[in-house]
Chains A and B, each alone.
Chain A
Amino acid sequence: MSASKEKYTEAQYLEVDQYEPKTQSGRIANYVDTRVGGTNIVREFGRKVFPDHWTFMFGEVALYSFIITVLSGAFLTFWFDPSMSTTRYSGSYAPLQGLEMSMAYATALELSFDVRGGLFMRQLHHWGALLFVLAMSVHMLRVFFTGAFRKPRELNWVVGCSLLILGLGAGFTGYSLPDEVLSGNGLRIIDGMLKAVPVVGTYISFFLFGGEFPGNEVIPRLYSLHIFIIPALILILIAVHLFMVVVHKHTQYPGPGRTERNVVGYPVGPVYAAKAGGFFFIVLGILCFIAGTFQINALWNYGPYDPSPVQAGAQPDWYIGPFEGVLRLMPGYLGDFSLEWVIPTPWGGNSLALPVLIPMLPVAAIFLGMFVWPWIEAWITGDKKEHHLLDRPRNAPTRTAFGAAVVTNYLIMWGMGSNDLIATHFGLSLNDITYWSRVLFFLGPVIAYILTKRICLALQRKDREVALHGHEAGVIEVSPEGEFHERHKMPSEYELWTLVSYEAPEPSGPQPNAKGKVTLTEKIRARLNRIWFEDRVEPVSREEYLEALEHHGHDHETTGLEAAQSQESVTSGKPHGHDPHGH
C-alpha cells in the first residue's frame, strides 16, 4: 500500500486529542476508535453492498448451523467423559441399570436422562451437524451450477471443498463418541476399510485404535479430533473463506443494471445485517423445534458396544450414505472368481481387498474432481477471464449436465446406503435392488447428462423465443378474415436483458503453441472443448432482435406456430441467414 509512504502533518496527529465527542455513545465509540481504529472498519463495512438472492442463503445456513453446533457441543462437553474405562451403569434409565459399559456411554446416557435439557442439547447438536453438512452440500451445488467457482474464486472453492470434507470428519468423529453398538459397528467398518488399504492400512488401523480393534484408546482420540483439531481447522478455514468473500465481493446473478464491474444489492447497515442476523435466529429456531420434537440417535436403545450384536436396518448419518452405499453395491465375486486378490510374494503373499478398495474409487474421484474442477473447466473452455456475474445454469448446458450426472451417480450410491430399508418398506427383493443399482450406477449418470443437456438447450431456445416473439399471452384473437392467432406480450427491456446477455462461444479448435505445434494435450483439449460447446444455442443477436422488432412493428400477426417455426432454424446455434419468420 502506497498509503504508508504518506507524510502526515503535526496537526493531523493532534486531531485525535482535540476531538470532543458530544454524546454518550460518541464517547464510547471515540474510546474504541482511538485505540483500534474503528472508523476505518465502519467506513469499509458499514455500507458494504451484498447482492441478495434466495440461493445465497445456503452458505449462511451452513455458517449458522456450525455456530449452533459449536455452542451446543460446548454444553455437552461439561458432562460427557470420553473415557473407555468401565463402569456399572446406575443412572435413571432402568433397562440398562447394572450393565458394564464405558464411561463415554454412561455419561452420554447421563446427559440424556439426568441432565435437564441434556437430551435437547444432544439432539440440537446432532440435528445441527446434519444441517451443517447439508447446507454446505447445497451451497456447493449452487456455487457449482452457477459457475461461481470461476476466476478469481477458484481458491475459495478449494477452501469450501476442504470445509465439506472437514465437516464429514467432524460428523463421523462425533457420531462415534457415545461408544454404543450402532456407532461401534460404524467404527468397525472404518477399521475394515483402513485394513484394506495396501501396505500401510493395517498399521494405520493399529495406530488409530491403539492396537487391535476396538481396544481401549479410540474414543478419547476421536474426542480430541472432534472437539479440538477438526473444529479449529473448520474455524480457520471459515475465516479464510469469508475473508476471500470480502476480497472478491459477492457474485451476482445477471440482470438489468448488473455488470462484471459492479455489485448491486443491499448495504450491510441496516438491511443486510438485519436480514442476516435475523436469519441466524430463524435457523436456530427451526433447529430448536426439530431438536425438541424429532428424536435422533436414541442411543439408549443400542446398549454398550460389543463386537457381537448389530442392528438390522442400521443407518449411518445421511452424509455417510454414499460411502456406505457404494460398499453395498460392489460385488465380492464376479461369477466364481473372487475379486479379493493375493499378490504372490516370496514371503507368502499380500492381500488386496479389491471389494473394499474399488468402491472407494468413485467416491474419491468425486471428491478429488471437485477440488480441481475450476482448473479443468477453465482448461477445456479456454476461459481465463474474471467472472463476477453468475451463469444461469441453462446458459452453461454442458457444465450443468455434467454436474447433474455426478449428482445422479452420488445419489445412487447414497440411496444404496439404505437398500435394506427400501427393500423392507416397499416389499422388494434386496438382491434385485442391488443388481439394478449396479446397472444404474453406470447408466444413471449417462441418462442424467443427456436429459439435463437437452433440458438446458430447450430452456435456452425458449428464452430466444420469448426475447424475439414475446410471451404467449393466452389470448386467442380472430382477425376479420377469420384467422385465429394468439396474442404475444413482449418482455420488458429489463427481462429481455436477462434473456439475451450471456455468452456461448463457438468451439475454439486446436490452437498451436508458441512453437507453432499442436500438441497431443491440445488436441484432447480441443476435443473436449468441442463437446463442451458444440450444441450451443446462441443468444439473440442485435440484428435478429432488430429484425424481429421491425416485424412486430409492421405487422402484429405473430402466431405461436410461426414462433415455433422460427425456433427450429435456431438449433445448433447457427445464426440464421434468413428471415426468422420465413417470409
Chain B
Amino acid sequence: MAEHGNGDSSSAVVATGEGESGQYAIDNPGLPPHRPRLADVDEKAAKRSERQVSTLFLISIIGTVIFFVGYFAVGRMDAFEDYFEGMSALRVQNTLLGIGSALAMLGIGLGVVHWAKTLMPDHEVVEDRKPLRLEKDREEAEKIVNDVIDETQIKRRPLMRNTLIAAALLAPLPAVVMFRDLDRSEDFGVERMRHSLWSPGVRLVRDPTGTPIRAADVTVGSAMHVIPETLREIPGHGTRLSEKAKAVTLLMRLPMDDFQEPTPGRENWTHEGIIACSKVCTHVGCPVALYERHTHHLLCPCHQSTFDAADEFKVVFGPAGRPLPQLPISVDDEGFLIATSDFTEPVGPTYWERGHTDPEGDYPAS
C-alpha cells in the first residue's frame, strides 16, 4: 500500500494484470504528476476557501431558523377559520419547511464537500488489490469442509441422509398452508364471481343518492352510472365496495336508429333506446368512465379500451379482449328502470375459471 500523502505518484507501475509490457501501443505511464491546487500553494486562497466553507455552514444555520419560523409562526391549518386561508397557510408553511431544511442540509453538504475539495489532500493513492483467494487457503478450507463432512458420517449412513432430506422437504409446508386463511370470506371459491346484486326486478338507482330512475327521465344522449337498489342494504363498507365493484353499471340512451341489430336473445334487453352495461372494464377492471355521445363509444381511461354502446359494447380499440357485459333492463309498473336478470356472464377482468359463456346467457356447468 502506498504511503498516503507523499505525493509521489510517478512510481512505475509494474504488474498490470493482463496488460503485460508490450501488449499495448505504449506501456502504462503511471499516474500523471500531481498538480497543486491554488489553496495548496497560496495561503490567501486557502483562507478564502475557509471563509467560503464557513459561509456555507452559516447559511445552514439560517436555514434551520427559517424552518422554525415556518413551523411555529405559520401555524396549523385547522387554526384558520376559512378554507382558502387555511390552504394558503399550509402552502406557505410547506414552502418554508422545504426551503429552510434544504438550506440547512445543502449548507452542511456543500460546505463539507468544498472543504474536502479545496483543503483536504487531493493526492491520488494507489492500493494493491488482494487476490480474492490464495491457493494455500483454498486447500486448507477444502480440507476443513471434507473433515467436517466425514465427522458427521452423513456419507456412510444414507438412511439417515435420505430421511433428513424427506423431513426437510415436508417441514416448510405447514408454513405455506398457514396462509390459507388469507381469504377470510365465507363462500370461498370462484362461484361468487359469477353473481352480482342484480336480479330480476331490482331497480337501477342513482349513486350515491339511491333515487330510482324513471325511463322518461333519461334523455337521449345522456349517460350515468347506476347501482342496484339493494346495495345499500349490504352491511360493512368493504363488503359493500366488493359488491359495488361487480354491480356498478352504466346507463345511457341512444337514438333508436343508431343501434345495430341485436344478437338473438337480446332483443328485449333494452328499453326504448336505454341500454345498460357493466362499468368494469373487461381488460383489467378499471371503471369505463368516459362516454362520447356522438360516436356512442365508451372509453376506459386506464388503458384506452374502447367499446361501442350501439353494437352491444363490442371492442373497437385497445387491449380489452371481450365486450362489456350488458345488463338486461326493463321498467316496472311504476315506470322505474329495473334489471330483468343478473349479468349473464361474470363482469370485470378475465380469470382462469371464467370459462366460456354461451350466447344463450346460461353459465357453463361449474
**Could you tell me if B351 and A274 are in contact, using CB atoms closer than 8 angstroms?**
no
Interface flags, A173-195, vs B, CB<8A=1, else 0: 00000000000010011011101
**Could you tell me if B25 and A541 are in contact, using CB atoms closer than 8 angstroms?**
yes
Task: Give the interface residue-count category, chain B.
Answer: 35 or more
Given A202-B351, A261-B15, A354-B321, also A328-B364 (CB < 8 A): no
> Which B residues lie within 8 Å of A347 (CB)?
355, 365-366
> Which B residues lie within 8 Å of A385 (CB)?
18
Q: How far is the CA of A212 from the CA of B246 in the complex (A)?
A: 9
Does A45 interact with chain B (Cβ within 8 Å)? no
Does B61 interact with chain A (Cβ within 8 Å)? no
Question: Which of A86-94, A135-143, A454-462 is the interface stretch?
Answer: A86-94
Interface flags, A347-375, vs B, CB<8A=1, else 0: 11111111110010000000000000000
Q: How far is the CA of A342 from the CA of B322 in the complex (A)?
A: 12
Interface flags, B223-239, vs A, CB<8A=1, else 0: 00101000000001111
> Which residue on B lies nearest to A214, using beta carbons?
B241
Does A265 interact with chain B (Cβ within 8 Å)? yes
Which of B25, B30, B112, B319 has the most chain A CB atoms inside 10 A of its CB?
A: B25
Given A213-B245, A285-B105, A494-B29, also A262-B185 (CB < 8 A): no
Q: How far is the CA of A277 from the CA of B105 in the complex (A)?
A: 11
Question: Which of A112-120, A231-239, A524-532, A574-582 is the interface stretch?
Answer: A112-120
Does A333 interact with chain B (Cβ within 8 Å)? yes
Within 8 A of A (CB), among B290-306: 290, 301-305
Partner of A47, one of B4, B132, B351: B4
Q: How far is the CA of A213 from the CA of B193 in the complex (A)?
A: 10
Instruction: Tell me the total A-B contact number using a CB cutoff of 8 A.
Output: 407
**Could you tell me if A92 and B127 are in contact, using CB atoms closer than 8 angstroms?**
no
Does A496 interact with chain B (Cβ within 8 Å)? yes
Does A26 interact with chain B (Cβ within 8 Å)? no
> Which A residues lie within 8 Å of B280 (CB)?
307
Within 8 A of A (CB), among B277-326: 279-281, 283-287, 289-290, 301-305, 315, 317-322
Which of B241, B281, B287 has the most chain A CB atoms inside 10 A of its CB?
A: B241
**Could you tell me if B120 and A91 are in contact, using CB atoms closer than 8 angstroms?**
no
Given A271-B122, A288-B101, also A328-B304 (CB < 8 A): yes
> Which residue on A lies nearest to B182, using beta carbons?
A207
> Which A residues lie within 8 Å of B132 (CB)?
152, 247-248, 386
> Which B residues lie within 8 Å of A260 (CB)?
16-19, 129
> Which residue on A lies nearest to B354, using beta carbons?
A351
Q: How far is the CA of A185 from the CA of B179 in the complex (A)?
A: 26
Within 8 A of A (CB), among B157-186: 179, 182-185
Given A281-B112, A314-B302, A542-B25, also A212-B185 (CB < 8 A): yes
**Could you tell me if A293 and B125 are in contact, using CB atoms closer than 8 angstroms?**
no
**Could you tell me if B364 and A189 are in contact, using CB atoms closer than 8 angstroms?**
no
**Could you tell me if A351 and B352 are in contact, using CB atoms closer than 8 angstroms?**
yes
**Could you tell me if A263 and B99 are in contact, using CB atoms closer than 8 angstroms?**
no
Q: How far is the CB of A512 from chain B (nearest CB, A)?
A: 25
> Which residue on A lies nearest to B75, using beta carbons?
A116
Interface flags, B76-100, vs A, CB<8A=1, else 0: 1110000100100010011111111
> Which A residues lie within 8 Å of B366 (CB)?
347-348
Interface flags, A238-265, vs B, CB<8A=1, else 0: 0000000001110000001111111111
Partner of A259, one of B15, B117, B290, B355: B15
> Which A residues lie within 8 Å of B101 (CB)?
120, 285, 288, 292
Task: Give the interface residue-count category, chain A.
Answer: 35 or more
**Could you tell me if A342 and B112 are in contact, using CB atoms closer than 8 angstroms?**
no
Q: How far is the CA of A258 from the CA of B129 in the complex (A)?
A: 11
Does A217 interact with chain B (Cβ within 8 Å)? yes
Does A56 interact with chain B (Cβ within 8 Å)? no
**Could you tell me if A355 and B185 are in contact, using CB atoms closer than 8 angstroms?**
no
Q: How far is the CA of A345 from the CA of B132 in the complex (A)?
A: 57
**Could you tell me if A307 and B184 are in contact, using CB atoms closer than 8 angstroms?**
no
> Which B residues lie within 8 Å of A289 (CB)?
98-99, 102, 106
**Could you tell me if A496 and B25 are in contact, using CB atoms closer than 8 angstroms?**
yes
Interface flags, B322-351, vs A, CB<8A=1, else 0: 100000000000000000000000001111
> Which A residues lie within 8 Å of B321 (CB)?
332-333, 338-340, 353-355
**Could you tell me if B97 and A353 are in contact, using CB atoms closer than 8 angstroms?**
no
> Which B residues lie within 8 Å of A563 (CB)?
none
Q: How far is the CA of A314 from the CA of B102 in the complex (A)?
A: 30
> Which B residues lie within 8 Å of A91 (CB)?
78
Does A513 interact with chain B (Cβ within 8 Å)? no
**Could you tell me if B301 and A313 are in contact, using CB atoms closer than 8 angstroms?**
yes
**Could you tell me if B76 and A116 are in contact, using CB atoms closer than 8 angstroms?**
yes
**Could you tell me if B76 and A114 are in contact, using CB atoms closer than 8 angstroms?**
yes
Partner of B351, one of A265, A288, A351: A351
Does B22 interact with chain A (Cβ within 8 Å)? yes
Does A379 interact with chain B (Cβ within 8 Å)? no
Partner of A312, one of B140, B248, B290: B290
Does B356 interact with chain A (Cβ within 8 Å)? yes
Partner of A215, one of B238, B281, B349: B238
Question: Could you list some 15 contacts between A and B, CB below 8 A?
Answer: A92-B86, A201-B351, A201-B352, A208-B182, A212-B242, A260-B17, A285-B102, A308-B279, A342-B356, A344-B356, A356-B319, A434-B304, A500-B24, A501-B24, A501-B28
Closest 8 CB pairs of A and B: A292-B98, A192-B284, A260-B17, A281-B109, A216-B238, A340-B321, A278-B112, A348-B364
Supply 12 further A-B pairs (C-beta < 8 A) apart from A271-B116, A351-B354, A467-B25.
A2-B137, A189-B284, A196-B350, A212-B192, A256-B29, A278-B110, A292-B97, A292-B100, A306-B241, A327-B303, A328-B318, A328-B319
Contacts from B to A (Cβ < 8 Å): 1, 4, 9, 13, 15-19, 22, 24-26, 28-32, 71, 75-78, 83, 86, 90, 93-113, 115-117, 120-122, 124-129, 132, 137, 140, 179, 182-185, 188, 190, 192-193, 207, 225, 227, 236-239, 241-242, 244-246, 248, 279-281, 283-287, 289-290, 301-305, 315, 317-322, 348-356, 364-366
